[in-house]
Structure 1
Amino acid sequence: MKKNNKFIVTLFSIFLGLVVGAIILFISGYNPIEAYQVMFMGIFGSPKYISYTIVRSTPIIITGISVAFAFKTGLFNIGAEGQFIIGSIFAMIAGYLFKLPPVIHGLVAILVGALAAGIWAGIVGVLKSKFGINEVISSIMLNWIALYMNNYFLTFPLLRRPNSDASFKVLDTAKINFLGQWKVSEAGKAFLKDNKFLRELLNPPVNYGFLIAILLAILVWYILKHTTLGYQLKAVGYNKDAAEYGGINIKKNIVVSMMIAGAISGIAGATQVLGVEHQIGILAASQGYGFNGMAVSLIAGNNPLATIPAGLLFGGLTYGGGKLNSLIGAPSEVINIAIGSIVFFVAMPKLFEMFGKIFTRRKRGENLD
Structure 2
Amino acid sequence: MSPAVLVLENGQRFTGVEFGARGQTLGEAVFCTAMTGYQETLTDPSYHRQIVVATAPQIGNTGWNREDGESHDPAAAPGDETGRIWVAGYAVRNPTRRVSNFRATTSLQDELVEQGIVGIAGIDTRTVVRVLREHGSMRAGIFSGDALAEPDELLERVRTQPSMAGADLAGEVSSPVDYVISPDGEPRFTVAAIDLGIKTNTPRMFAERGVRVHVLPASATLSDITALSPDGVFLSNGPGDPATADHAVELTRGVLGEDIPLFGICFGNQILGRALGRSTYKMKFGHRGINIPVIDHATGKVSITAQNHGFALEGSAGEEFDTDFGRARVSHVCANDGTVEGVELLSGRAFSVQYHPEAAAGPHDAAYLFDRFVAVMQGENA
TM-score between the two structures when normalised by the length of structure 2: 0.25
Richer in strand (by share): 2
Q: Which has the higher contact order (CA 8 A, sep 6+)?
A: 1
Specify the structure having the higher radius of gyration (Cα). 1
